[in-house]
Structure 1
């Protein structure tokens, strides 16, 4: 294509294409010099908002006399197509540099952001807010051994109405590239000021040093949620360790705009101290940390997105956290266990139950002795064995009937029948001891076979 634009710019070839239009390499026929010409997309130029935005870009960039802002040489409308003539830059965008090198050294990042701060300082001083600062709009020009930084594309810049006129941004309309937008910009607030550019500077700085974007998401709603609601992950969560950088990033991306740095120069000055290791005062305003997505897909350029649509997406992406309910359940469980332990410790000791008394039985007469002198005893029945307590009770308990009186409390002496002679015995209901029937068993007491221990003199049940 070798069309002549406005009678003085011959278009050679297309250099790039964006959401607003295309950029061409062109020759100024009168001056015999090469320039860059930006042509607005005809569909956008047909709308009053699009044409006005293009005009404001030309006026905003032309009003900023800075070595770090692309110089605007001419502006006009050819037939129905608005065009913008700019100086031709030889180099690459920061986005292209990051795509090739993945990450930059901290010292080089500081050098780039220092020049960005100079350009933004000039713009903010004139009441101009860029609102679409991103690596694609930061151009790196190599001049001998120096790297010169230029800021491009003031197409959606917010400018003072009294100076540039035109249309104001409507409340509820989101403008910018979402990965680098501040929370107030995402929410479509009308009162967006220069501090939204400071947020974008911090995000770009983090991306340069860590190689990943600090705010990302698989959906647009998730991205907005990470920017506006979820805790912000520190750069160290990406494995980048630089003392003081987490705190610097936390202050620069504070969701409360008034808690951020006061100017672009203050932001980059604090960054320079962090990189040099001379940061003295701890930075405040650090939010809670939460790792967010770190995908490296191409940044979608969103020029106008309804806030209601974004909030609907945000609500669909929001899931209530089960953690508070889990913690509540644990607390209630521990409290219940503690109360049970206290109750068990305070429960009074119950008295031991009284031993079950067997029914009175008639004592059987002693069996007759055999010719050898041994006494034949009938074995005790199982019912009788089960009714007898195996151990004496710890303490005799009173019964409804009056107990039989004890005839003697004196210890029983061994009988002359010999230590191995079998006898009939009964259990003393008061002491629980086994006594022979020869020591006057109480009436009604059941008897059983027993022998006397030759060493202790005590009787034991057979």
Structure 2
């Protein structure tokens, strides 16, 4: 596997005493993550295992466990480049049934970074769950808090019952245009607001331009 000498985003935050990242730095990392998701959500997958055990060509991988610990940082030509790792829970979303490492009926992932749709319909999740998770990663990176309040509650129940806390309620240092985009990206009731990584990336870019 490729060695990423910068470690993960979690490692970067630990180096700063579990501090938040600078807004510009965090946004730059997530813009690269969204570029990576745009690729994987549209990539051709040569062999996807179907429910009946046969294999077929698929299109697009959903990560389903995107979080700061799975975002790695490498130095490429003197520039920090973000790379998405740990596709162990990934699924080819245009094929029904079992795929990869996932078993029917299981809900797998990290509740801090999961939208409602991933709990309710894990087996048939669509790419927008990764888009929501990318927004959740950005939220954590710039506030130090998870989007939802999960204390004293079953974490998966909290995902279903609690909306994301507006990002400026965590810290007023977030510029309003950026806060608006982040808050929209974390809407998941009844549907996830941004349907594609490219859509969220464009909105994020426009908010800081």
Q: TM-score range by the shorter chain?
A: 0.7 to 0.9
Confirm or deny that 1:119 pairs with 2:36.
Answer: yes
User: In 2, are the aligned partners of 1:140 and 1:150 still within 8 Å (CA)?
Assistant: yes
Deviation of 1:111 (Å): 1.4
Aligned-pair distance for 1:245?
3.0
Contact 1:228–1:255 (CA under 8 A) maintained in structure 2? no
Alignment partner, residue 199 of structure 1:
132
Judged with a 3 Å threshold, the aligned counterparts in structure 2 of structure 1 residues 166 and 154 are, in CA distance, closer, same or farther, namely closer
Q: Which residue of 2 aligns with 1:87?
A: 2
Partner of 1:459: none
1:170 is matched with which residue?
104
Of 149, 163, 168, the match for 1:236:
168
Aligned partner of 2:89 in structure 1 is: 156
DSSP 3-state at the match of 2:61: coil
Shift of the alpha carbon at 1:124?
Answer: 0.5
CA contact (8 A) 1:179 1:216 kept: no
Cα distance in 2 for residues equivalent to 1:188 and 1:249: 24
- Number of corresponding residues: 188
**CA drift at 1:168:** 5.8
1:110 — aligned with what? 27
Matches of 2:147 and 2:133, distance apart in 1: 11
Match of 1:97 in 2: 12
- Structure 1 SS opposite 2:147: coil
Structure with greater proportional strand content: 1
TM-score relative to the length of structure 2: 0.79
Shift of 1:237: 0.8
Q: What is the distance in 2 between the residues matched to 1:265 and 1:166?
A: 25
- Confirm or deny: 8 A CA contact 1:98 1:211 kept in the other structure: no
**2:91–2:100 Cα contact (<8 Å) kept:** no
Of 180, 185, 193, which residue of structure 1 is paired with 2:118?
Answer: 185
Identify which of structures 1 and 2 has the higher relative contact order when contacts are C-alpha pairs closer than 8 Å and 6+ apart: 2
Q: Which ranges of structure 1 fall in alignment gaps of 5 or more residues?
A: 1-85, 277-462
1:88: Cα distance to partner?
A: 2.4
